[in-house]
Amino acid sequence: MRLPAGATLKLLEWLRRYGVAEIVGTCAALFGAWLVQRLGGNAVAAAYGGAFGENIGFYGTIVVRDFVAERRGARAAGVVFGPAGALRTAGELLLEFGPAELFDSLVVRPLAMGVGTRLLGWRLGVVAGKLVADVTFYVPVILTHEMRRARRRPTTE
């Protein structure tokens, strides 16, 4: 089964937007879970350590990349990327990720990683829990991202 060309382009666009951050986040999740486990934490504590580590890795990558891109774009347009630009970029990121992240970080991801580590051990359980949680996370994130992009496009009438 082949995807339509438009769907393939969308998948590639989303992969460019989130792929590297996902890889960094996954490594940070494993490190966070491992660190908490080594410090004597149980499976629930390790799941929260994994969720926290993933947030640091994922959002660190997204925030740095977006701020650098916005600053570069402002410089190319001959505009200073100062506090107003930084606030605009931060606001855009909050709109894209905020609502989904609250539910994800406080409920879904720790629960999925906790169940995963209980059933599969901490290494495989963290990754399995992460993948399950990613599904519930990306549905609203991608919808918000697409609405923001549509709002930015100039309309032709």
Residue 143, pLDDT > 50, answer: yes
Least confident window among 3-7, 32-36, 127-131 = 3-7
pLDDT digit string, tens, across residues 101-117? 888 888 898 889 889 88
pLDDT at site 11: 86
Average confidence (pLDDT) over 11-16 = 89
CA distance 126 to 28: 11
Amino acid at 104: D
Q: How far apart are CA 90 and CA 95, in angstroms?
A: 9
Q: pLDDT value at position 157?
A: 42
What is the secondary structure of the chain as a DSSP string?
-PPPHHHHHHHHHHHHHHHHHHHHHHHHHHHHHHHHHHTT--HHHHHHHHHHHHHHHHHHHHHHHHHHHHHHHHHHTT----HHHHHHHHHHHHHHHHHHHHHIIIIIHHHHHHHHHHHH-HHHHHHHHHHHHHHHHHHHHHHHHHHHHHHHSPP--
Better pLDDT: 41 or 61? 61
Whether 100 and 141 have beta carbons less than 8 Å apart is answered as: yes
